[in-house]
Amino acid sequence: MIVTLTPNTGIDYTLKVPRYSLGETIRANESTWGMGGKATDAAWILGKLGVPTAALGFAAGKTGIRMEAMLQEHGVLTDFVQVQGETRLNVVIVCPGEGQSTFTSSSLLVTNTQSEELLRKFEQ
């Protein structure tokens, strides 16, 4: 089994738009949900491929609950330390031919005790 450790987890919501400019309402051509946080993203992809994977890290709030559910839907075992704050939500705007921008929200509030708890989980 592959074990991933992501201290700064998140969810990506990606919008593909035909153009981007401030002050306008722009309808996305496509939208997708995905994982943010490199190791959590890897766990999600491995789970989709059927590779036995466990994801460890910090999670908080409703976004954290959704993140865990998304991972579990792909067969990933999750064992996150629940903390204060909110798991990051990243909004990624992709404009073909022009590039992309990522808007990210504030994140987790982790105590030393919670960090030690995560390390214990990882060492098991």
Q: Report phi then psi at 80, rounded to 5.
A: -90, 145
* CATH class held by domain 2-20+28-109: alpha beta
The whole-model pTM stands at 0.87
CA atoms of 58 and 82, how far apart (whole Å): 6
How do 88-95 and 99-104 pair as beta strands?
A: antiparallel
3-class state of residue 91 by DSSP: strand
The pair of structure tokens assigned to 57 is 């890290």
The pair of structure tokens assigned to 110 is 């982790």
What digits encode the pLDDT tens for the residues 43-67? 999 999 999 999 999 999 999 999 9
Among 20-29, 44-53, 68-77, which stretch is predicted with the lowest mean pLDDT? 20-29
